[in-house]
Amino acid sequence: MANREFTVLFLCTGNSARSIMAECAMNRWGKGKFKAFSAGSHPSGTVHPMTIQLLKELNYETSALRSKSWDEFARPGSSPLDFVFTVCDKIAGEACPVWPGQPITAHWGAADPVAFAGSEEAKRRFYFKIYTELENRIKIFISLPFDSLDRFALERRVREIGSVKLPENK
């Protein structure tokens, strides 16, 4: 794969937490090599307040974040995508649109922090745990030797990243 900036789309059903966190982490850690976006099959219309709170605590700029439909990325004339990653199990089972650019796809499932029940502090810790899981996968992904992998090897590697068992956060 050529030395260029790759376009990555993270998908989740509601596009209010996991996919938004992954978008932010990819844009931070992959800056200059990757440009990330996020979307949902049934977007909630808002980014979850706890997602915003966590991202602000991690020094992310959050003012431009929004919950949006995957239709924005599948329209005729949309920019080609290089990678599409689903981050929730529900969307992984849905019929996805045909993405422009024949992107490499993989499932990097993570638990839904919005559905987590507990105290505010427990919720905050759970959001951070999910963010860390996604961030660790992204760091593995961006460290791949893109210039020396053909498409089939790259497809295999990005799918393996989704099955990596990550250490538990304390």
Q: Can you tell me the distance from the alpha carbon of 19 to that of 37, in angstroms, rounded to the nearest whole number?
A: 8
Q: DSSP assignment, residue 30?
A: T
Q: Can you tell me the distance from the alpha carbon of 22 to that of 131, in angstroms, rounded to the nearest whole number?
A: 7
Residue 24 annotated as catalytic? no
Residue 12 annotated as catalytic? yes
- The angle at the Cα of 44, spanning 42 to 49, to the nearest 5 degrees, equals 150
Amino acid at 24: C
Q: Dihedral angle at the C-alpha atoms of 91, 92, 93, 98, nearest 10 degrees?
A: 90
The residue from 1, 58, 96, 142 that is catalytic is 96
The residue from 88, 104, 138, 158 that is catalytic is 88
The residue from 12, 50, 52, 114 that is catalytic is 12
**Among all residues, which ones are annotated catalytic?**
12, 88, 96
